Amino acid sequence: MKLLVGQRALVTGGSRGLGRAIVLALARHGAKVAFTYARNEDAAERTRQDATALGAEVLSFRADAADNPATEAVVRSLESAWDGLDVLVNNAAITQNLPLALLEEEDFDRVMRVNVKGPFLTSRAVLRTMIRRKSGVIVNIGSLAGARMIEAPIHYTTSKAALIGMTEAMAKEVARHGIRVVCLAPGLLEDGLGRNLPDHRLADYLKHNALGRVGTFEEVAEVCVLLASSRSSYISGETLVMDGGV
């Protein structure tokens, strides 16, 4: 069953990894999908073609989510093309596997800029059109690291914990406009941070994981679709941890 027929969605950081899986899931469920990417034009074009092959109308934009003029330009383009947006997925994020003693101030600032400032700027731009229509859903992609006390890079963990706070505050503020805001916090997945972990840390994670495995991008993407759909119409301000039972 297609859950988002006729909906208009924007995914930040949608060309690769989890972002790509979310773009394809939204397309499979009947949405028009736009996505942003930072650098890799080949990956973006492959994602655009694959989503189009699923029958979706797809637009892609090279834009830094933490660059306010670029973000505003993307949203203006989508307002012109689609007359607004129904769903925003704040997915764009970065991390580094560095211990606290080796973190430079620039490392901390860069992660916070992308992982916190980016969702703030994009949400602010999109909310203007959602408020006018008195409807919309924002899904923030968080992390188990921001919701549980686990061993993870300090700056990444801090950014994802901040995203949970942003979700709660934003949900409270925009509820009167008929808008929902939720956070989806995956555990280790098949790529990204999970792939770069030392073997002993991955083994420790799996030992404490009830399902005994890492998650897949597709599993998380399908839950993202569910949260964005009317099937989750009474969920707002919450963080759903999706970690296989850690």
Residue 122 three-state SS? helix
H or E segment and range at residue 68: helix 68-82
Which listed residue (37, 156, 205, 234) is catalytic? 156
CA atoms within a 13 Å half-sphere pointing along the CA-CB vector of 83:
3
H or E segment and range at residue 172: helix 154-174
Partners of 138 in the beta sheet?
88, 181
Q: Where are the beta strands (DSSP E) in the chain?
A: 8-11, 32-37, 58-62, 87-90, 136-141, 179-186, 239-242
Q: State yes or no: is 37 an active-site residue.
A: no
Report, as residue numbers or ranges, the catalytic residues.
156
